């Protein structure tokens, strides 16, 4: 893992929660959407906050794809769970939501899990089938 | 009616929809990216356009994106009913657990003790988040 690759993972961590928070601002301003008026969701896409959220999530997606091209899915996803901490901070200090002690404990536990995973290898090398000539040499 | 909207069961159902669609999407996309290879190498040889072309011409990638779109609209629906601090971490963290299982079964990734332990920690973390 190079420094640049850690930067890609860091961007994935920050872009996703920011995008989610923008979506939250947009959807809360629209109000609850009922199943009978499900098309309201398509209208929501044209509102500024939801649009800003989508732009952030596109940035997240591009960096996420890059990460998946050189690391395992089971390595990338926990590593990006750090975004949960960012979501909690944004929810608490920007959206003024109440975060109970147990939720903070949950967030801490998830962050600890991320620590476990990032200590291990990032990619599983799959054995490629040997060419026929090499197989004969082996046996 | 309002109570029903905010009940734990409704929240659980909305989160389950997000997680199921996201897991299918993640596995399909991860499989596509493994098939395509290291994007940094492709970019070095064929440039940025070459890397973009390699991704957007992959069928498996599009199936994954379709599943992610379902997950996204499920997220929008859930956010209009429940708190961001519950929906976002719970769905994201549960996706880690389902992806760990899917990564082992479908992508044949080396999910060692460390990664299982991490998934377990995430499980407890989610339980605490939902309280």
CA distance A13 to A80: 5
Does residue B131 contact residue A100 with C-beta atoms inside 8 Å?
yes
Count of Cβ atoms closer than 10 Å to residue B62 Cβ: 15
Mean pLDDT for the stretch of residues B2-18? 76
Residues of chain A neighbouring B119 (CB-CB closer than 8 A)? 78, 113
Q: Which of A70, A109, A121 has the CB atom closest to B124's CB atom?
A: A109
How far is A10 from chain B, CA to nearest CA, in Å? 16
- Check: CB of residue B89 under 8 Å from CB of residue A106: yes
- Check whether B64 has a pLDDT greater than 90: yes
Interval B41-54: pLDDT, tens: 888 888 888 888 88
User: Which among A83, A36, A111, A76 has a CA at the least distance from the CA of B100?
Assistant: A76
Which chain B residue's Cα is nearest to A42? B73
Q: Which residue has the tokens 């159902």?
A: B13
User: Alpha-carbon distance A113 to A133, whole Å?
Assistant: 45
B39 vs A66: CB contact, 8 Å cut-off?
Answer: yes
Q: Do A65 and B33 touch (CB under 8 A)?
A: yes
Q: Which residues in chain B have Cβ-Cβ distances shorter than 8 Å to A114?
A: 118
Rounded CA-CA distance A69/A77 in Å is: 13
Q: Taking CB atoms and an 8 Å limit, are A113 and B128 in contact across chains?
A: no
- The CA distance from A100 to A11, in Å, is 27
Question: Are B89 and A106 an interchain contact pair (Cβ–Cβ within 8 Å)?
Answer: yes
Greatest CA separation for chain A: 69
Which residue of A31, A81, A119 is in closest CB contact with B93? A81
- Dig out the tokens for B29 from the structure: 């996309």
Q: What is the pTM of this model?
A: 0.71
What DSSP character marks residue A122? Answer: S
Chain B nearest C-alpha distance from A69 (Å): 5
| pLDDT attached to residue A101 | 87
- CB–CB of A114/A106 below 8 Å? no
pLDDT value for A138:
45
- The confidence score (pLDDT) of residue A139 equals 43
Q: How many distinct structural domains can be found in chain A?
A: 1
pLDDT of residue B52: 87
* Structural contact between residues B30 and A68, judged by C-beta atoms closer than 8 angstroms: yes
Q: For residue A135, give how far its alpha carbon lies from the nearest alpha carbon of chain B (Å).
A: 23
Kindly state the average pLDDT of the residues B95-103: 85
- Domain assignments of chain B as residue spans, ordered by start: 2-129
Helices (H), chain A: 3-30, 40-44, 48-68, 73-80, 83-93, 101-118, 132-138
Q: Mutation target for A interface from B118, B120, B131: give the one with most A CBs within 10 A.
A: B118
Question: What element of type H or E holds B23?
Answer: helix B8-36
Q: Is B95 on the interface with A (CB under 8 A)?
A: yes
The partner residue sitting opposite A68, judged by closest CB among B33, B84, B122, is: B33
Q: Is the C-alpha dihedral spanning A120, B118, A17, B71 positive or negative?
A: positive
Burial of A103 (0-12, 13-18, 19+ CB in 10 A): buried
Q: Kindly state the percentage of chain B with pLDDT values over 90.
A: 21
Q: Does residue B113 sit at the A interface (CB-CB below 8 Å)?
A: no
- How many whole angstroms separate alpha carbon A72 and alpha carbon B28? 13
Domain carrying residue A114:
3-138
DSSP 8-state code for residue A124: P
The predicted pLDDT at position B131 comes to 63
pLDDT, tens digit only, all 139 positions of chain A: 778 888 888 888 888 888 888 888 888 888 887 777 778 788 888 889 999 999 998 898 888 888 888 888 878 876 677 777 777 777 788 778 888 888 888 888 877 877 777 777 767 776 654 554 554 454 4
Confidence (pLDDT) at A135: 43
Place of tokens 């389902």: B98
């Amino acid at each position: 893992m190079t420094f640049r690759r850690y930067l890609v993972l860091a961007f994935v961590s920050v872009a996703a929660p920011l995008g989610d928070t923008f979506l939250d601002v947009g959807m809360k301003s629209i109000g609850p959407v009922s199943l009978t008026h499900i098309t309201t969701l398509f209208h929501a896409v044209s509102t500024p906050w939801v649009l800003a959220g989508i732009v952030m999530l596109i940035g997240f997606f591009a960096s996420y794809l890059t990460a998946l091209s050189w690391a395992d899915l089971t390595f990338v996803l926990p590593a990006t769970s750090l975004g949960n901490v960012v979501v909690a901070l944004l929810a608490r200090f920007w959206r003024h939501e109440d975060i109970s002690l147990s939720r903070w404990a949950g967030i801490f536990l998830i962050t600890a899990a991320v620590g476990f995973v990032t200590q291990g290898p990032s990619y599983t090398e799959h054995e490629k089938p040997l060419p026929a000539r090499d197989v004969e040499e082996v046996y | 009616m309002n109570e029903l909207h905010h009940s734990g069961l409704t929240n659980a159902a909305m989160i389950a929809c997000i997680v199921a669609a996201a897991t299918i999407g993640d596995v399909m996309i991860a499989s596509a990216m493994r098939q395509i290879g290291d994007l940094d190498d492709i970019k070095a040889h064929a440039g940025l356009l070459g890397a973009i072309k390699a991704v957007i011409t992959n069928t498996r990638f599009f199936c994954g994106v379709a599943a992610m779109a379902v997950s996204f609209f499920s997220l929008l629906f859930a956010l209009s009913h429940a708190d961001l601090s519950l929906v976002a971490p719970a769905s994201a963290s549960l996706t880690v657990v389902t992806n760990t299982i899917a990564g082992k079964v479908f992508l044949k990734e080396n999910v060692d003790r460390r990664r299982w332990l991490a998934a377990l920690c995430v499980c407890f973390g989610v339980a605490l988040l939902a309280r």
